[in-house]
Amino acid sequence: MLLAVFVYLPLAQNLAFSTQEWDIYSGTSEFVGLENYEKLLGDAVFWSALANNGLYALLSIAFQVAGALVLAAMIESLRSMRWRKALRAIYFVPSAISLTVAGLLFYFIYEPNLGMLNHLLEAVGLGALTQPWLGQESTAMVGIIAMSQWQGFGYSTLLFAVAIQRIPSELYEAAAIDGIGPVRRFLHVTVPLVREMTGLMVIVTISGAFQVFNEVMVMTSGGPNNSTQVLATWLYRSGFVRNDFGYAAAIATVIFVVTLIVALGQLWYTKRRRVDF
Amino acid sequence: MTRTGFFSAISRVFMWSFLLALVVVVAYPLLWMVLNGFKTNTELFGNPFALPLQLNWENYVTAWNRGVSDYLTASVLVTVTSTIATVFISAWAAYGLTRVRMPFGRTVSGLILGGLMLAPAVALVPLVRMFQAMGLYNTFWALLILYTAFRIPFTTFLIRAYMIDLPREVDEAAEVDGASRWTTFWRITLPMCKPIIISTVILHVLFAWNEYLFAMVFTSGTGVQTLPVGLTSLLSKHGTDYPVVFAGMVVAALPVIVLFFASQRYFIKGLSEGIGK
């Protein structure tokens, strides 16, 4: 048993862990100091990628945290148990299918010729709005983020629903007897009592937003004109397409630092706030 | 009807229309995907909204022959083996962490759980070099090892949280009766953990089935490529034969949707435990 814990486990773990220490140095066989980082600071694509990750985080917090919380409260306020279950499950389906399938699906939805979106706009008389959604810089990033919200909101809604179910129903009954309406019940009972989950969701969402790769890769590969590059795709492109491993490792360090800060925030948060009933 | 009753009736109508509209937003793209998998190319470009004239299973046959059979085999193989490896090692590790007193116990659990915070993209560059050096690049083993190593922290974390709450007396009784560590683990602790084991199996299957970053970077040829990566190459290799791609997407999406509906209860439990602690 001791052997198992001390030998097998670190062995498997080391595959993951040993890498995090040496990522800065392993990229280059020759020591170049901070050169890669200097290059990073002067790289316009890096900054726009960082901004795209930031936009991703903001919009995801709006929809997948705030929006999902409201949605979960709506679902849980329904009287019919069967409908609650059904809605939660249906909303979750996009999260069960992979980001790749969802990304490809939206690639086709945005596609100018056969895409559902342009045809839908024409059908409701908004033909003037049709455009190559992923083919132009102004709409591509938002298009990708929109897909990601479609794919992910059911997941956070489900988690919020579980958190809301843990709130003792007496609290709601007491509030209802006092004549407090549903909106105020939501603001004064639900929101404070799921704040632990809300905090975690914010943290997980930010952390996820800075690791985004899949959806961008599938839908635009970072184009047009690098306008949809995010840190992870720019890392991939730098390292594996342009063979600049050192530079890719420098980008990886940035992702590491961001996710580390977020993770420390999570530790601090869970230690501080525990909701007890 | 009182005034408040009237208002609440109106708000109920609004809420229901919103919830049902969202169901359409979720379900329609998925339905569109399934229908398009049955269309001919002319039908698809002619009117993307129309129903297919007949159920065209040929697209599935074509997709199957163009590599989907290989991608599917690779996906199933990697998913099954990495699930077994991950859940088994994690359960064993969780057992060690919760039941065996050992020096540096806290450090070890810190190391394991710290892995939760490591973003895969951060380790990408060193991992590629390491796997190239070991000759495992572009092999089935690369994905098996990566999926296992990167999911052990999360899986161990879930099982550990469950094991902590199990009564120790049963284990101790078994040991008094002369059962070895291994027998106690295999015969007593593991069966008691069945619910959380099922949850972790499902979560891991979803992860391995849908994973894209590692699959894309570490594999290149048909035979080792999994479905998510295979689908994107299906799109890029065969130009505008889109219905075939849609058929491939359905093949990739269907198993996980079925799995989700079949195991919702365990699944939701796993998710909420995983994020809530």
Q: Most B CBs within 10 Å: which of A65, A78, A82, A97, as the mutation test of the B interface?
A: A97
Cα–Cα distance, A24 to A241 (Å, whole number): 19
User: Rounded mean pLDDT of chain A?
Assistant: 80
**Which of A104, A201, A231 comes nearest B249 by C-beta?**
A104
A151 part of contact set with chain B, CB < 8 Å: no
Cα–Cα distance, B107 to B110 (Å, whole number): 5
> CA-CA distances (angstroms) from residue B251 to A175, A195, B68, B72, B244?
49, 39, 8, 8, 11
Chain A environment of B92 (Cβ under 8 Å)? 4, 8
* Distance of residue B60 Cα from the nearest chain A Cα, in angstroms: 16
**Which of A5, A96, A104 comes nearest B93 by C-beta?**
A5
Chain B environment of A27 (Cβ under 8 Å)? 125-126
Q: What is the pLDDT of residue A221?
A: 83
CB contact under 8 A, A13 and B115: yes
- pLDDT, one tens digit per residue, over A148-164 is 999 999 989 988 988 88
Domain assignment present for A1: no
CB contact under 8 A, A213 and B100: no
pLDDT band at residue A25 under the 50/70/90 scheme: very low
B30 part of contact set with chain A, CB < 8 Å: yes
Sign, CA torsion B37/B38/B44/B50:
negative
Nearest to B228 by CA among A232, A152, A215, A239: A215
pLDDT band at residue A64 under the 50/70/90 scheme: very high
Q: Could you tell me if residue A221 is left (phi over 0), alpha (psi between -120 and 50 degrees) or otherwise beta? A: left
Q: Which residue has the tokens 């929006």?
A: A67
Domain assignment present for A135: yes
**Which of A98, A109, A260 comes nearest B252 by C-beta?**
A98
Q: Does pLDDT of B67 surpass 70? A: yes
Domain assignment present for A10: no
How confident is the model over B252-273, as a mean pLDDT? 82
Domain assignment present for A79: yes
**Contact between A239 and A245 (Cβ < 8 Å):** yes
**Contact between A130 and A118 (Cβ < 8 Å):** yes
Q: Which residue has the tokens 């094991």?
A: B163
User: Rounded mean pLDDT of chain B?
Assistant: 81
Asked if omega into B29 is within 30° of 0 (cis), the reply is no
- pLDDT, one tens digit per residue, over A106-140 is 998 888 877 788 878 887 777 777 788 887 888 88
CB contact under 8 A, A259 and B122: yes
Q: Give me the number of domains chain A comprises.
A: 1
**Which of B97, B126, B257 comes nearest A22 by C-beta?**
B126
Domain assignment present for A22: no
pLDDT band at residue A243 under the 50/70/90 scheme: confident
As given in the structure block, the two tokens for residue A132 are 């190559």
Domain assignment present for A4: no
Domain assignment present for A170: yes
Q: What is the pLDDT of residue A23?
A: 43
- For residue B84, which amino acid is it? I
Q: Most B CBs within 10 Å: which of A82, A83, A104, as the mutation test of the B interface?
A: A104
Cβ-count burial B188-204 (b if 16+ within 10 Å, e if not) = bbbeebeebbbbbbbbb
Please give the DSSP secondary-structure letter assigned to residue A34. Answer: T
A174 part of contact set with chain B, CB < 8 Å: no
Domain assignment present for A20: no
Cα–Cα distance, A114 to A132 (Å, whole number): 11
Phi, psi angles (nearest 5°) of residue A130: -65, 140
Domains parsed from chain B with CATH numbers: 67-276 (1.10.3720.10)
This complex has an ipTM of: 0.83
**CATH code of the domain in which A82 resides:** 1.10.3720.10
How confident is the model over A35-53, as a mean pLDDT? 85
Chain A environment of B126 (Cβ under 8 Å)? 18-19, 22-23, 26-27, 249
**In percent, how much of chain B has pLDDT > 90?**
11
Residues 226-265 of A with CB under 8 A from B: 231-232, 235-236, 239-240, 245, 248-249, 252-253, 255-256, 259-260, 263
pLDDT band at residue A244 under the 50/70/90 scheme: confident
Q: Does pLDDT of A181 surpass 90? A: no
Phi, psi angles (nearest 5°) of residue A80: -80, 115
Its domain, for residue A52, covers 33-271
